[in-house]
Structure 1
Amino acid sequence: MANIGRVQYIKGTEKDQLLSVWMHSDYGSGTGRAHGKISSGFEGHYDITYYDDQNAKLTDLKLEIKKDDDRYFLTWRNSNKVISFGIGLVNCDVLSASYIDV
């Protein structure tokens, strides 16, 4: 399958920071660091930088995380254009989500 991926976020040591690990069917795997305004739990708006598995910078994106009951909806934007969306859940203080590129 093309254009699908999986990501996990944990809260970082800095205020309003998320750290991530990700994998994608077309782009391999890597990490990410997000900073933004956390409103509750993982909900919030973030500026996130993603890196490949060699720690080379890949891209800077906007990430919005919204909670609805036990589900989290994620939207990634580049220059205000939606490029990916996903759904996830929290278990043991880790937000795990699957996503698809559009």
Structure 2
Amino acid sequence: MKAFYNQTYYERNNNYINEFSLTLLWSVSVSMFPFGGFLGSLMVGPLVNKFGRKGTLLFNNIFSIVPAILMGCSEVARSFEMIIVSRLLVGICAGK
């Protein structure tokens, strides 16, 4: 993942990202999954009250399909931001 981030940054700015920023970016990407899980766990109660258990599970499928598409398209789009957002959404899915 770090190599993809570094190459993408180079293609945008004609300069490689420094090691500290690369590690920080990688750490943010990795930490988005548990943060999303935290957000998902906070969302599950109100969603179950509003949509019921079955409706919440169906709604939860959105949070598994959309990030899969985003992650698949991130390399084509040359965007590491898409990976960060998709990891957050996958975390929300896992937290429900």
* Structure of higher CA gyration radius: 2
TM (norm. structure 2) is 0.25
Higher helix residue share: 2
**What TM-score do you get using the length of structure 1 for normalisation?**
0.24
